[in-house]
């Protein structure tokens, strides 16, 4: 009976199956990227880039309407452009990269809103930012699956370089030139996942799916090879349970998924064996 409740919506409705498959694929590729964002002390950069893709998407919408390849290309160009501009400004001025991104993303967001206004046609900004997993069509699903596969493949290829570059960039730079390429490849994957994700569960919601399982996983393991699949698994679980919650309670799917991930995060903060509040520790008493 319970098992039936957990699966029947997906057996019954194709749109639920598409949302599940796309969401799980996105969780599997985005959450491990989130782990690396945290380790590289770039946790807030996903959020900044999610805003940064808006003007590209808006311009694509203005010119081509709701076309998936155009929106993807536009978002990708704007996101990469912003990440590249932030890296360039940091390199030339010495200002930290997160500061440059924080300065550039309101500019991007404002230009995006302005472009949508100029377009004159109505595209729901709320849809672009918060999306709806239940509206994933066959084309979007193919895009999500291809992105997830590509993203995991590239991450596997750059894994060693990225890990060493995150831990000790100076040592890596002394023995190899691969560090900046690994960084650029990694940022490209982040933008790609955000762009493909914003069409499914929305630009801001996909940041939640990228960061929350990653942040939660940190409370359960101190081993990178465990953290990556654990974050992906947590993300996938949140997609599945979030879609069920959304189905049975008639709630919007994106917030359901992200709030469930948020609940997992809060449980981890309290009960996680690594940094959690309840882990045993000696107390120091002041007499």
Partner 1 sequence: MIECRELQWGAGGRALTPPLNLKLAAGSLTAVIGSNGSGKSSLLRVLAGLDRPLAGHIRMSVARPGGVAYLPQQQQIDRQFPIRLLELVRGGFWGSRLGRSERQARLRQVLADWGLLDLQTQGLHALSGGELQRALLARMSLTDAQLLLLDEPEAALDDSGVDLLWQHLRRWQQQGRTLVLVSHNLDSLLEKRCNALRIARSGCVAAPINQLLDRDPLGRVA
Q: Does 166 bind partner 1 (CB under 8 A)?
A: yes
Q: Does 227 bind partner 1 (CB under 8 A)?
A: yes
Q: Does 135 bind partner 1 (CB under 8 A)?
A: no
Spell out, one character per residue from 78 to 117, where the chain touches partner 1: x when CB under 8 A holds, - when not. ----------------------------------------
* Nearer of residues 54 and 172 to partner 1, judged by Cβ: 172
Tell me the two tokens of residue 4.
């039936």
Q: Does 218 bind partner 1 (CB under 8 A)?
A: yes
Shortest reach from residue 221's CB to partner 1, in Å: 7
Work out the number of other CB atoms within 10 angstroms of the CB of residue 46: 25
Residue from the set 91, 121, 173, 279 that interacts with partner 1 by CB under 8 A: 173
Work out the number of other CB atoms within 10 angstroms of the CB of residue 67: 14
CB < 8 Å & 24+ apart, contacts of 275-283:
275/218, 275/219, 276/219
Question: How far is the CA of 135 from the CAs of 29, 116, 140, 202, in angstroms?
Answer: 20, 21, 9, 11
Instruction: Give the whole-angstrom CA distance, residue 76 versus residue 22.
Output: 19
Q: How far is CA 251 from the centre of its chain?
A: 22
Instruction: Give the whole-angstrom CA distance, residue 52 versus residue 185.
Output: 18
DSSP letter at 96 equals: -
Q: Which range touches partner 1 (CB under 8 A), out of 26-34, 57-65, 84-92, 222-230?
A: 222-230
Q: Does 175 bind partner 1 (CB under 8 A)?
A: yes
* Nearer of residues 39 and 44 to partner 1, judged by Cβ: 39
* 90, 82 Cβ separation under 8 angstroms: no
* Nearer of residues 121 and 160 to partner 1, judged by Cβ: 160
**Interface ranges with partner 1 (CB under 8 A):** 39, 163-164, 166-168, 170-177, 218, 221-224, 227
């Amino acid at each position: 009976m319970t098992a039936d409740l957990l699966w029947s919506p997906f057996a019954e409705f194709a749109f639920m199956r598409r949302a599940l498959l796309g969401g799980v694929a996105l969780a599997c590729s985005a959450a491990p990227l989130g782990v690396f964002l945290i380790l590289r002390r770039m946790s807030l950069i996903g959020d900044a880039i999610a805003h940064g893709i808006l003007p590209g998407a808006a311009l694509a919408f203005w010119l081509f309407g709701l076309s998936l390849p155009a929106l993807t290309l536009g978002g990708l160009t704007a996101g990469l452009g912003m990440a590249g501009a932030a890296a360039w400004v940091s390199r030339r001025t010495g200002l930290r990269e997160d500061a440059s991104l924080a300065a550039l993303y309101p500019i991007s967001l404002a230009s995006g809103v302005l472009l949508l206004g100029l377009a004159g046609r109505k595209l729901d900004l709320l849809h672009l930012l918060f999306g709806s997993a239940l509206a994933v069509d066959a084309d979007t699903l193919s895009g999500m699956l291809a992105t997830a596969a590509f993203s995991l493949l590239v991450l596997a290829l750059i894994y060693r370089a990225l890990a060493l570059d995150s831990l000790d960039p100076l040592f890596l730079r002394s023995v190899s030139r691969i560090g900046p390429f690994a960084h650029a490849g990694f940022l490209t994957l982040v933008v790609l996942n955000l762009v493909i994700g914003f069409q499914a569960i929305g630009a801001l919601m996909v940041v939640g799916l990228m960061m929350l399982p990653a942040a939660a996983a940190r409370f359960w393991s101190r081993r990178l090879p465990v953290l990556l699949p654990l974050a992906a698994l947590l993300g996938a679980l949140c997609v599945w349970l979030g879609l069920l919650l959304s189905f049975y309670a008639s709630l919007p799917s994106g917030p359901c998924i992200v709030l469930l991930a948020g609940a997992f995060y809060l449980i981890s903060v309290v009960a996680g064996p690594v940094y959690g509040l309840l882990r045993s520790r000696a107390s120091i008493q002041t007499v």
